[in-house]
Amino acid sequence: MATCSCEINACVLCEERLYPGLTKEQVCQIRERLIRELYAPHEVLFREGDPAVFLFALRSGQLKLTSSMPDGRQQILRIAVAGQLLGIETFKGQRYPFTAEALTDVVACKISHDDLRQILAGSPAIALRVIETLSQELDQTESLIRDLGLKTAPEKVSSFLLSLIPQRGDPGAELPLRLSRREIAEMLGLTEETVSRVMADFARKKIIGSGKGYIRILDRKWLEETNGVENKASSTERRAQSGHS
Amino acid sequence: MATCSCEINACVLCEERLYPGLTKEQVCQIRERLIRELYAPHEVLFREGDPAVFLFALRSGQLKLTSSMPDGRQQILRIAVAGQLLGIETFKGQRYPFTAEALTDVVACKISHDDLRQILAGSPAIALRVIETLSQELDQTESLIRDLGLKTAPEKVSSFLLSLIPQRGDPGAELPLRLSRREIAEMLGLTEETVSRVMADFARKKIIGSGKGYIRILDRKWLEETNGVENKASSTERRAQSGHS
DNA sequence: ACGGGATATTGATCTGCATCAATATTCACC
DNA sequence: GGTGAATATTGATGCAGATCAATATCCCGT
């Protein structure tokens, strides 16, 4: 039949335009393999070490992906945003390598590995889309490595703050901050005290304005210089500004 | 025609069995888009910030992927091994996000983004293969984040040493060590002095034996405990504070 | 509006690793 | 096999950020 009741499942895997060569029937067959799920903030989609049965296509909202050590130390690997595919690291693996926890209300489509594999085998357009998503995730992850491996605490925080700025939209507007100090610390490899101190310092210097649950970037240029990634022209005297003693 | 002279280009993208639905002619057409290249140790395939024209499929050898800050601080993002695809992060991007430098003799197949896109659009088997590779790279990168973000120097070095052990083969054998102390440090977010000290300490404790250009794992279990990933209650169980959220 | 737990700020001190420094070893090349 | 440059080891000292500690503030349910 030409219609089915699966529209509610709309996500990165089920937009009709991704299947140019397929009939509506076939598209519906694909869609029926997807299970739409809703999660509230703090809900866990899956835990590190669990058998990896499903993948998740994130339709809306944000997740944090964390890995922890037996003694309780925890690291945020990445913040997943709408459009990304979760758990693809287990494409050939057995267990989820991280815990996925909702930061906001989340809508996600769940699908089994085997089903995804079949869909990919039959639809190059979807496969391309997945490759693009994975590329983006890899890029995002590599950026975090840069931050963790060679930046000082203020540089890390600058980097983090800059990452909050949306590509489109007013950069001077209030930006929602969904992570606690502890979570920011867990992302940047710092302690919450250090994050708090650095952000207080930034606020004192009028680099940012901070309220509860949001921040406002007041001096983006300063952050971009402090975060260290930008222009290589002023490389020589750069290090002077880092600590004020 | 049924034969062409492109066999020399064999790599992850050009194994015939990956194109089950295609004729030999078509496979040869794909292969002709690939350019095989050879690199000696220390040769650079491309530099961070260069316009990203080509992707590289690594056929044999190892590469280090590095990113550096204007003041010279440098971070190894990942060691790429045979089978991986390089520069896919730029699938939609403009510039390489890292420098790729050969650690060993390297054979790689070079291909333009557009050509790869066409191949992927026409061959789901290849696309699946690329997805698997990307998954592996993402997993590898996430592991490094764990090391960088929440491990101490000895834990980092343990982690690194364990990563040298091949899946198959005698774990007690001499393992080739292609990275200098400085490079190990650049990978783990340490200094070369610290790496040297930790490794000297490990050698003193008979955890490893070290010679020129190789190391030998003498006490793998100890490393696995020290690296912290497995269950370890021996040293500090008092820190575990069951704080969920 | 109140009380109590979670989260954040701020201060004082400690420490793991960086930094600075001085050899020691290996390697490349003639 | 000797000479110098790159790499590695080892020691001494310093500091950024962790840790410990004491409020302060927010948040939510009743």
Structure tokens belonging to residue B151: 């491990």
**In the prediction, which pLDDT does B122 show?**
82
Instruction: Please count the other Cβ atoms lying within 10 Å of the Cβ belonging to residue A36.
Output: 17
Gap from A209 CA to D16 C1', Å: 25
Identify the residue with better confidence: A210 or A27.
A210
Closest CA to A30 of A141, A153, A95, A117: A117
DSSP E strands in B69-187: the ranges are 74-81, 85-86, 99-102, 106-112, 174-176
Closest CA to B89 of B38, B138, B18: B138
Gap from A199 CA to D19 C1', Å: 19
Tell me the pLDDT tens digit for each residue of A122-141: 888 888 889 999 999 999 99
pLDDT-derived band at B19 (thresholds 50, 70, 90) equals: low
User: Pick from B134, B236, B239: which is nearest to A138 by CB?
Assistant: B134
Report the alpha-carbon distance of residue B111 to residue B234 in Å, rounded. 51
Q: Specify the range with the lowest mean pLDDT, choosing from A34-48, A66-80, A106-120, B6-20.
A: B6-20
Phi, psi of A42 (to 5 degrees): 80, -5
DSSP E strands in chain A: the ranges are 35-39, 44-46, 54-60, 62-68, 74-81, 85-86, 99-102, 106-112, 174-176, 208-211, 214-217
CB B58 within 8 A of CB B83: yes
Do β-strands B35-39 and B44-46 pair in parallel, antiparallel, or remain unpaired? unpaired
User: Pick from B73, B120, B138: which is nearest to A134 by CB?
Assistant: B138
CB B102 within 8 A of CB B61: yes
C-alpha of A172 from chain center: 22
Report the alpha-carbon distance of residue B173 to residue A91 in Å, rounded. 31
pLDDT over 90 percentage in chain A: 55
**In the prediction, which pLDDT does A123 show?**
81
pLDDT-derived band at B171 (thresholds 50, 70, 90) equals: low
Gap from B180 CA to C29 C1', Å: 21
CB A74 within 8 A of CB A67: yes
Tell me the pLDDT tens digit for each residue of B85-143: 998 887 766 899 999 999 999 999 898 888 888 888 888 888 888 999 999 999 999 99
Angle at A14 (CA atoms; ends A11, A18), nearest 5 degrees: 120
Counted residue by residue, chain B has a size of 245
Nearest-10 crossing angle of helices A124-150, A113-122: 120
Q: What is the dihedral of CA B80, B81, B82, B88, to 10 degrees?
A: -20
**In the prediction, which pLDDT does B33 show?**
72
**In the prediction, which pLDDT does A30 show?**
65
Contact B131 A128 (CB under 8 A): no
**In the prediction, which pLDDT does A31 show?**
65
Structure tokens belonging to residue A46: 């899956």
Question: Residue B13: is its pLDDT beyond 50?
Answer: yes
Identify the residue with better confidence: B28 or A52.
A52
Contact B78 A142 (CB under 8 A): yes
Angle at A201 (CA atoms; ends A196, A206), nearest 5 degrees: 125
For the residues A12-23, what does the mean pLDDT come to? 58
Q: Reduce the DSSP state of residue A148 to 3 states and report it.
A: helix
Residues of chain B with Cβ-Cβ distance to A136 below 8 Å are: 92
Instruction: Please count the other Cβ atoms lying within 10 Å of the Cβ belonging to residue A204.
Output: 9
Compare all CA atoms of chain A with the CA of B146 and give the residue at the minimum distance: A75
Half-sphere exposure in the Cβ direction for A83 (13 Å, CA): 9
Compare all CA atoms of chain A with the CA of B190 and give the residue at the minimum distance: A149
Could you tell me the pTM of the whole model?
A: 0.85
**In the prediction, which pLDDT does B28 show?**
62
Gap from A33 CA to C20 C1', Å: 62
For the residues A49-72, what does the mean pLDDT come to? 92
Contact B145 A141 (CB under 8 A): yes
**In the prediction, which pLDDT does A21 show?**
59
Identify the residue with better confidence: A231 or B190.
B190
Minimum distance, in Å, between the CA of residue B153 and any CA atom of chain A? 12
Contact A72 B236 (CB under 8 A): no
Nucleotide closest to residue B200 (CA–C1'): D9
Please report residues contacting nucleic strand C, using a CB cutoff of 7 A. Answer: A 180-182, 192-193, 195-197, 199-200, 210; B 152-154, 185, 189-191, 193-194, 212-213, 243, 245
**In the prediction, which pLDDT does B226 show?**
86
Residues of chain B with Cβ-Cβ distance to A189 below 8 Å are: 148-150
Report the alpha-carbon distance of residue A94 to residue B17 in Å, rounded. 26
pLDDT over 90 percentage in chain B: 55
Report the alpha-carbon distance of residue B228 to residue B159 in Å, rounded. 9
Nearest-10 crossing angle of helices B124-150, A113-122: 140
Structure tokens belonging to residue A236: 């020589």
Phi, psi of A80 (to 5 degrees): -90, 135
When the pLDDT of each residue in chain A is averaged and rounded to a whole number, the result is: 83
Report the alpha-carbon distance of residue A143 to residue A121 in Å, rounded. 31
Residues of chain B with Cβ-Cβ distance to A78 below 8 Å are: 142
Tell me the pLDDT tens digit for each residue of A82-103: 989 998 887 766 899 999 999 9
Residues of chain B with Cβ-Cβ distance to A144 below 8 Å are: 145
Gap from A166 CA to C15 C1', Å: 39
